[in-house]
Amino acid sequence: MFTTRCAITAATVAVIAAIAPITDVARAHEPDAEEIALGSLVDAELAFARMALAQGIRAAFLASFASDGVVFEPAPVRIQAAWTKRPAPADPKALRLEWQPAQAGVARSHDMGFTTGPSKLTDMRRPDFVRHGLFFSVWQRDSKGMWRVGLDIGATTPGAPDFVPLGAAPRPAYLGKANASAQRAALLALETRTFKTGHAYANLLAADARLYRDGAWPIAGRPAVARAVQSRASTIEWLPFEVRMSHADDMAATYGKFHAIGGTDGDRDGYYLDLWLRDAKGRWRLAYDIANP
């Protein structure tokens, strides 16, 4: 179902334009390794979306997720184990889920990437039921080099989200050597903590960080993200379940449970997915903070 192409499709160019400066895309050149990897990732996402419309959500998700792929319901579950035990819906197309990648990125090792964009859920049995949202998927290549979804989370939005005002997607900048065990430990140390929102949280953020919260519009930029988190909670505790990291150690995804107190949202528990990218100095920076109660 997935395709890996050396030629860049029109849809892929649109996504790359949202990630890289326009001048970089406009210059005519043969696609480099990053563009090829990015193009194949976008093709995989588009094929996934087409299959969901043609065969239904269940069939597309089971075909597209890795054997250890996790979906948030809102608690994280291993989809291949959980969904195969459930009876198939009587009408697999009753719920229509439409989405498309607006932005994407890949690790320098081209074995891990992410896609994100708008989604729309409609119930064909209730024409007046429409739910807008956004998705965030972490992809990893399997042993055959095919892209498979490793982690997938979504959030509802007040209407159809527009990704253009958010600017170019965050990208890893680290070019040094990989040390998986050391970096995994460093990342777990950053996450296994209770901290006050404000400076402690802001210092973790990438300059172009993104915040996704259920029922709200996405927010971009370190100052805006930090302000939004501080207004919603005074203290946050992260309890990570797992770390998934690229072979280049420049991109990693963590997920787990959070406990927050204070702020406009009050005391609450929920689940989160964080995407971390290393900057040019090798420091881990939080690029996407996604959490649902």
**Residues contacting residue 195 through CB under 8 Å, at least 6 positions apart:** 201, 235, 236
Task: Give tens-digit pLDDT for 82-93.
Answer: 999 999 999 999
Name the CA radius of gyration of the chain, rounded. 19
Average pLDDT over residues 260-289: 96
Sort strands 251-261 and 235-245 into parallel, antiparallel or unpaired.
Answer: antiparallel
pTM: 0.89
AA letter at 86: R
How far apart (Å, rounded) are the C-alpha atoms in residues 6 and 31?
Answer: 8
**Residues contacting residue 117 through CB under 8 Å, at least 6 positions apart:** 99, 100, 101, 102, 103, 134, 135, 163
Contact indicator for 254, 273 with CB cutoff of 8 Å: yes
How far apart (Å, rounded) are the C-alpha atoms in residues 15 and 117?
Answer: 10
CA angle 195, 200, 201 (to 5 degrees): 85
Tokens, residue 149: 């979804």
Query: Which domains does the chain show, CATH number per domain?
Result: 10-166 (3.10.450.50), 180-292 (3.10.450.50)
Task: Give tens-digit pLDDT for 189-245.
Answer: 999 989 889 889 999 999 999 999 999 999 999 999 999 999 999 999 999 999 999
Residue 44's φ and ψ, nearest 5 degrees, are -65, -40
Task: Give tens-digit pLDDT for 72-128.
Answer: 999 999 999 999 999 999 999 999 999 999 999 999 999 999 999 999 999 999 989
Checking if the pLDDT of 14 tops 70, the result is no
- The share of the chain scoring above pLDDT 90, in percent, equals 84
Contact indicator for 142, 148 with CB cutoff of 8 Å: yes
